[in-house]
Structure 1
Amino acid sequence: MQPMSLLVTTCVLFVGSHLLLSHPLRAPLAGRMGERSFLIVYSVVAIATLVMLVQAWRGMPAEPPIWAVGDGLWMFASLLVLFASILFMGSLIGNPALPAPNAAFAAQGAARGVFAITRHPMMWGFALWAFAHALVVPTPGQFILSATIIFLALVGSAGQDVKKARLMGDTWRHWAARTSFIPFARQLSGRGSWGDTIPRPHALFGGIAVWLAATWAHGALGYMVAGIWRWVG
């Protein structure tokens, strides 16, 4: 199989298995196997398809960029990844969208920090991270990989809305009414306060730390130097 065909195939497997096991197949399989056994199967499939995708990506030949990438675009992409990192770190605490025992309790609180920005900060963090990579690595292979991650993150978020509404009922619907799917949509429409979107310390400082470490590792592992490290050192 040609490298590009292999990449497309593994992307389809990665996305397809996630969506099928997260939604239409989850209830019947979990009911038959038990929740714990299902989670084991889900994890094995997710890891296996991810490894296949990474291997296919590594096997792609060098491709010429579609546009030139200068310092301005690098700065914008770096700031986008920083924002994505803050969203991700903020999503780890008090996130009603996660399958946590206290999800219903968290959904009763006010939307503050990253949750005032979007009710799916983790998924939008992944999507923005992928988009930033497409900006600075403008090749067909990267476009396919980034599009795969963006599609899975955003379609997965929409699926979470449906599933959480079914599982949590009015608790989730009231939470969704106090938040927005698209980042900053409530603020831009005048329905939310910009002050509420200030990230909490664990999101802000954790996001900065993750951004610095990840962009440093990008260059240290032999990939393109990224983030602030392009201009420091």
Structure 2
Amino acid sequence: MAVLAIAVALFVLTHFILSHPLRAPLVARLGEKGFLGLYSLVAAATLIWAVLAYRAALTQQLWVPPLWVLQAGGLLMLIACILFVGSFLAPNPAMVEAGRLLAKGTAPKGVMGITRHPMMWAFGLWAVVHVAVTGRLETLILAGGIGILALVGARFQDGKKAAQLGAAWAAYAGSTSYWPLGAQLSGRLGWSRAWPGVLPVVIGLALYVVLVMAHPLVIGKATGAVPWS
């Protein structure tokens, strides 16, 4: 279990270090493509090590989830799939070409009306669900690390974009929210903006079904329950 913890810690820490304090000096030395190559290599190597360590770790059951946790987990995974798909189908200034996108206006579209970090929250929900429905220490370490990377990384993204784009990002951030539905609950956006759109829902549902069917083949275990079971 110690090896798994070290591997996950390196996976998370190298992401944070390379994407923030070391990014600028490494880009200056290696160029953008060279930096991205190094970043991808380190990310892949540490993730593979973490997955191998997870598979080798002895199972330590911390709790046995009741049926309602499995059912809630199925629903949250469906939402995660919709957010993940929607992050590719709507303009996302938090990811790339923020300046160009914000120049066209700050009104969020699609899943951006739910959260300005839909992909990161998809990974965060995935992490929470897998920790809750397995109740195992090794899953807590691996999925917890990925969840922390996603959600804390999203906060770091906000800070970096604010420093780079100033007032344009402030206006966009003011019309969206980090927390899902935070803009609706605070009155900054109407509840109609919480609708992700037809395509994200349809494709997200299809992705969810594929994942449920593939889970026992790839992972070796069924997902446990679906929201309507």
Q: Where on the TM-score scale, by shorter chain, does this alignment land: which range?
A: over 0.9
**Which of the residues 97, 100, 107 maps onto 1:105?**
100
C-alpha distance in structure 2 between counterparts of 1:220 and 1:54, whole Å: 17
* Superposition deviation, residue 142 in structure 1: 1.2
Return the TM-score normalized by structure 1: 0.91
- Residue range with higher mean Cα deviation, 223-232 or 179-188: 223-232
* Superposition deviation, residue 68 in structure 1: 2.5
The 8 Å contact of residues 212 and 227 in structure 1, kept in 2 or not, is answered as: no
C-alpha distance in structure 1 between counterparts of 2:22 and 2:193, whole Å: 38
* Superposition deviation, residue 227 in structure 1: 6.4
C-alpha distance in structure 1 between counterparts of 2:213 and 2:224, whole Å: 8
Rate the CA distance shift 1:177–1:204 in 2: closer, same or farther, 3 A.
Answer: same
- Matched residue type, 2:74: S
C-alpha distance in structure 1 between counterparts of 2:99 and 2:227, whole Å: 43
Q: Check if 1:160 corresponds to 2:157.
A: yes
* Superposition deviation, residue 210 in structure 1: 1.2
- Matched residue type, 2:131: A
Report the counterpart of residue 197 of structure 2 in structure 1. 200
The 8 Å contact of residues 127 and 154 in structure 1, kept in 2 or not, is answered as: yes
* Superposition deviation, residue 97 in structure 1: 1.1
* Superposition deviation, residue 147 in structure 1: 1.7
- Residue range with higher mean Cα deviation, 143-152 or 5-14: 143-152
Deviations 1:70-89 (A, max 9, x none): 33211100100110111111
Question: What's the C-alpha RMSD, in Å, of the aligned pairs?
Answer: 1.8
Report the counterpart of residue 225 of structure 1 in structure 2. 222
C-alpha distance in structure 2 between counterparts of 1:172 and 1:19, whole Å: 21
**Which of the residues 1, 18, 23 maps onto 1:21?**
18
C-alpha distance in structure 1 between counterparts of 2:106 and 2:199, whole Å: 18
Report the counterpart of residue 126 of structure 1 in structure 2. 123
Deviating runs (4+, > 6 A) in structure 1? Answer: 229-232
Report the counterpart of residue 32 of structure 1 in structure 2. 29
Rate the CA distance shift 1:230–1:128 in 2: closer, same or farther, 3 A.
Answer: closer
Stretches of structure 1 lacking an aligned partner (at least 5 in a row): none
**Which of the residues 65, 74, 78 maps onto 1:82?**
78
- Residue range with higher mean Cα deviation, 73-82 or 190-199: 190-199
C-alpha distance in structure 2 between counterparts of 1:120 and 1:133, whole Å: 20
* Superposition deviation, residue 229 in structure 1: 6.5
Counterpart secondary structure, 2:27: helix
Identity of aligned residues (%): 41
Instruction: Count residues in correspondence.
Output: 226
Counterpart secondary structure, 1:92: helix
* Superposition deviation, residue 197 in structure 1: 0.9
C-alpha distance in structure 2 between counterparts of 1:229 and 1:150, whole Å: 22
Report the counterpart of residue 64 of structure 2 in structure 1. 68
- Matched residue type, 2:133: V
Deviations 1:13-36 (A, max 9, x none): 000100001000000100111111
Counterpart secondary structure, 2:109: coil
- Matched residue type, 2:58: P
